[in-house]
Amino acid sequence: MKEYIINPCSGIRIEVLKGQKIDIIDIEGGQVVDFFAEMKGDSAEFLSPGVTIDCNESLRLNIGDIIYSNKYRPMFRVIYDDVGEHDLIHPCCRKEMFDFFYNNGKNHSNCLDNINNALATSHPIITPVNLFMYTKINTDGSIEVLAPLSKAGDKITLEALEDITLGIAACSVSESDCNSGVCTAIKVILY
């Protein structure tokens, strides 16, 4: 078993073997985790929320669901979930997003850079699974980002279905309800 702490507004790379389990734990509650991954040794095949939505025929992740790659290969299975509310539609926060919404992108920590730096890649855009992020989808198609429903110690557990390289970030948005207005650390346990 290995344990990792991802500090607020930072990212980490973790190598995972097929069959290993991954606990992602919201230490203090209300913190979003930008969860991204590549097939080991192939940065051109990576986690795809769009394909995951397509294959599961759902905008939600449920226990038993598979998270797929951009090449429609299974990467993870959801085996436990305290929260049941995760976002599959928003891209990583980035300089341009902070400029667009808050006019403060210059030198702002962001998940796109944190994940790319952790993976030593340069994906121009990353759409992760935003664990614990609560995006309310209204009947008219509009969306609202609300405070996460996760409480201190809540977790989701995934099983790796291939050898995977994870790039995970503790989301850097403190300007909205996305992370309950403050960025905090997350814990990852690999076993």
Tell me how far apart the alpha carbons of residues 46 and 42 are, in angstroms, rounded to a whole number: 8
How high is the mean pLDDT of the chain? 97
Residue spans per domain, the chain: 2-190
1 sits in which H/E element? none
State the pLDDT confidence band at 78, using cuts at 50, 70 and 90: very high
Residue 105 has pLDDT above 90, yes or no: no
Give pLDDT tens digits for 20-55.
999 999 999 999 999 999 999 999 999 999 999 999
Q: What is the mean pLDDT of residues 114-139?
A: 97
Residues contacting 191, CB < 8 A, separation 6+: 1, 2, 20, 21, 23
Confidence of residue 186 (pLDDT cuts 50, 70, 90): very high
Burial class (CB in 10 A: 0-12, 13-18, 19+), 138: exposed
Contact 46, 69 (CB under 8 A): yes
What integer is the mean pLDDT of 136-155? 96
Q: Among 86, 89, 159, 74, which Cα is nearest to 127's?
A: 89
